[in-house]
Amino acid sequence: MALNKHSRSRKKNELYEIGPGFWNIRGHFKMFAKMADIGTQMSIVQLSDGNFVVFDTVELNDHLRRQIDRLTNNGDLIEGVVGLHPFHTRSFLAFYQAYPQAAYYGTPRHLRILPEIPWLGSLDDCNVRQKWEPDVEMRISAGE
Protein backbone atom coordinates (compact mmCIF):
# COMPACT_ATOMS: atom_id res chain seq x y z
CA MET A 1 0.00 0.00 0.00
CA ALA A 2 2.91 2.33 -0.59
CA LEU A 3 2.38 5.67 -2.22
CA ASN A 4 3.00 5.86 -5.92
CA LYS A 5 3.91 9.50 -6.49
CA HIS A 6 2.76 9.36 -10.10
CA SER A 7 -1.01 9.30 -9.84
CA ARG A 8 -1.43 8.60 -13.54
CA SER A 9 0.31 5.26 -13.13
CA ARG A 10 -1.75 4.23 -10.11
CA LYS A 11 -3.83 1.13 -10.63
CA LYS A 12 -7.60 1.42 -10.35
CA ASN A 13 -9.38 -0.20 -7.40
CA GLU A 14 -6.17 -0.29 -5.37
CA LEU A 15 -5.81 1.25 -1.89
CA TYR A 16 -2.93 3.76 -1.70
CA GLU A 17 -1.74 5.45 1.47
CA ILE A 18 -1.30 9.08 0.48
CA GLY A 19 -0.10 10.27 3.88
CA PRO A 20 -0.50 9.49 7.57
CA GLY A 21 -4.11 8.49 8.18
CA PHE A 22 -5.23 9.13 4.59
CA TRP A 23 -5.87 6.56 1.83
CA ASN A 24 -7.21 7.03 -1.68
CA ILE A 25 -8.64 4.67 -4.26
CA ARG A 26 -9.14 5.57 -7.91
CA GLY A 27 -12.01 3.76 -9.57
CA HIS A 28 -13.65 3.36 -12.94
CA PHE A 29 -16.54 5.58 -13.99
CA LYS A 30 -17.63 5.00 -17.55
CA MET A 31 -19.82 7.36 -19.55
CA PHE A 32 -20.98 7.78 -23.11
CA ALA A 33 -22.19 4.21 -23.66
CA LYS A 34 -19.28 3.04 -21.50
CA MET A 35 -16.83 4.26 -24.13
CA ALA A 36 -15.06 6.81 -21.90
CA ASP A 37 -13.69 6.06 -18.45
CA ILE A 38 -13.55 9.45 -16.73
CA GLY A 39 -12.66 7.87 -13.39
CA THR A 40 -13.82 8.47 -9.85
CA GLN A 41 -12.29 8.24 -6.42
CA MET A 42 -12.88 7.29 -2.81
CA SER A 43 -10.93 8.46 0.23
CA ILE A 44 -10.57 6.92 3.67
CA VAL A 45 -9.52 9.04 6.66
CA GLN A 46 -8.41 7.64 9.99
CA LEU A 47 -9.71 9.69 12.90
CA SER A 48 -7.67 10.39 16.02
CA ASP A 49 -9.68 7.73 17.89
CA GLY A 50 -8.57 5.06 15.38
CA ASN A 51 -11.91 4.79 13.57
CA PHE A 52 -12.34 5.59 9.88
CA VAL A 53 -14.58 7.76 7.70
CA VAL A 54 -15.04 6.87 4.03
CA PHE A 55 -15.71 9.70 1.57
CA ASP A 56 -17.56 8.68 -1.58
CA THR A 57 -17.34 5.11 -2.82
CA VAL A 58 -16.01 3.17 -5.78
CA GLU A 59 -16.91 -0.26 -7.10
CA LEU A 60 -15.57 -2.97 -4.84
CA ASN A 61 -13.78 -5.98 -6.23
CA ASP A 62 -12.52 -8.83 -4.03
CA HIS A 63 -8.98 -7.43 -3.84
CA LEU A 64 -10.09 -3.94 -2.78
CA ARG A 65 -12.58 -5.38 -0.29
CA ARG A 66 -9.78 -7.39 1.35
CA GLN A 67 -7.60 -4.27 1.56
CA ILE A 68 -10.38 -2.24 3.18
CA ASP A 69 -11.21 -5.12 5.52
CA ARG A 70 -7.58 -5.37 6.60
CA LEU A 71 -7.36 -1.61 7.22
CA THR A 72 -10.70 -1.32 9.07
CA ASN A 73 -10.89 -4.62 10.98
CA ASN A 74 -13.44 -6.08 8.53
CA GLY A 75 -15.34 -2.79 8.48
CA ASP A 76 -15.87 -2.68 12.24
CA LEU A 77 -13.83 0.53 12.48
CA ILE A 78 -15.75 2.35 9.73
CA GLU A 79 -17.59 5.01 11.72
CA GLY A 80 -19.16 6.73 8.76
CA VAL A 81 -19.56 6.69 5.00
CA VAL A 82 -20.16 10.11 3.47
CA GLY A 83 -21.45 10.88 0.00
CA LEU A 84 -19.90 14.26 -0.78
CA HIS A 85 -20.62 14.55 -4.48
CA PRO A 86 -24.27 14.33 -5.45
CA PHE A 87 -23.55 12.39 -8.63
CA HIS A 88 -21.41 9.74 -6.92
CA THR A 89 -24.28 7.35 -6.28
CA ARG A 90 -23.62 4.29 -8.43
CA SER A 91 -21.51 2.30 -6.00
CA PHE A 92 -23.11 3.28 -2.68
CA LEU A 93 -25.62 0.45 -2.51
CA ALA A 94 -22.97 -2.22 -3.04
CA PHE A 95 -20.74 -0.53 -0.46
CA TYR A 96 -23.64 -0.44 2.00
CA GLN A 97 -24.29 -4.14 1.40
CA ALA A 98 -20.62 -4.85 2.15
CA TYR A 99 -20.49 -2.58 5.22
CA PRO A 100 -24.02 -2.21 6.62
CA GLN A 101 -22.81 -1.53 10.17
CA ALA A 102 -21.42 1.91 9.26
CA ALA A 103 -23.44 5.11 9.56
CA TYR A 104 -24.28 6.64 6.16
CA TYR A 105 -24.58 10.35 5.34
CA GLY A 106 -25.10 12.01 1.98
CA THR A 107 -26.35 14.88 -0.09
CA PRO A 108 -30.10 15.30 -0.54
CA ARG A 109 -29.70 13.54 -3.91
CA HIS A 110 -28.12 10.49 -2.25
CA LEU A 111 -30.98 10.28 0.22
CA ARG A 112 -33.59 10.65 -2.53
CA ILE A 113 -32.08 8.25 -5.09
CA LEU A 114 -31.01 5.52 -2.66
CA PRO A 115 -33.86 5.09 -0.16
CA GLU A 116 -32.79 1.49 0.53
CA ILE A 117 -29.82 2.81 2.51
CA PRO A 118 -30.79 3.90 6.05
CA TRP A 119 -29.16 7.33 5.84
CA LEU A 120 -28.54 8.95 9.22
CA GLY A 121 -28.31 12.48 7.92
CA SER A 122 -27.87 14.96 5.13
CA LEU A 123 -24.84 17.12 4.45
CA ASP A 124 -27.26 20.05 4.39
CA ASP A 125 -27.27 19.71 8.20
CA CYS A 126 -24.31 21.58 9.72
CA ASN A 127 -24.26 19.10 12.64
CA VAL A 128 -23.49 16.31 10.17
CA ARG A 129 -20.71 18.35 8.57
CA GLN A 130 -19.20 19.02 12.01
CA LYS A 131 -19.50 15.42 13.25
CA TRP A 132 -15.81 14.49 12.85
CA GLU A 133 -14.18 17.81 13.75
CA PRO A 134 -11.41 18.62 14.45
CA ASP A 135 -10.08 15.63 12.45
CA VAL A 136 -12.20 16.44 9.39
CA GLU A 137 -13.60 19.84 8.41
CA MET A 138 -16.44 19.91 5.89
CA ARG A 139 -18.19 22.91 4.44
CA ILE A 140 -20.42 23.74 1.52
CA SER A 141 -18.88 26.35 -0.74
CA ALA A 142 -20.80 29.48 -1.60
CA GLY A 143 -20.58 28.54 -5.28
CA GLU A 144 -19.62 32.01 -6.38
Instruction: Write out pLDDT tens, residues 86-131.
Output: 667 778 999 999 999 999 999 999 999 999 999 999 999 989 999 9
Sequence ranges of the domains in the chain: 18-129
CATH of domain 18-129: 3.60.15.10
Which 3 state secondary structure label does DSSP give 98? helix
Contact criterion met (CB below 8 Å) for 31 and 38: yes
C-alpha to C-alpha distance for 135 and 95, rounded to whole angstroms: 23
Burial of 50 (0-12, 13-18, 19+ CB in 10 A): exposed
pLDDT tens across 25-74, in order?
876 555 556 565 555 678 999 999 999 999 989 889 999 999 999 999 99
C-alpha to C-alpha distance for 44 and 22, rounded to whole angstroms: 6
DSSP state letter for 7? G
In the chain, the percentage of residues whose pLDDT exceeds 90 is 53
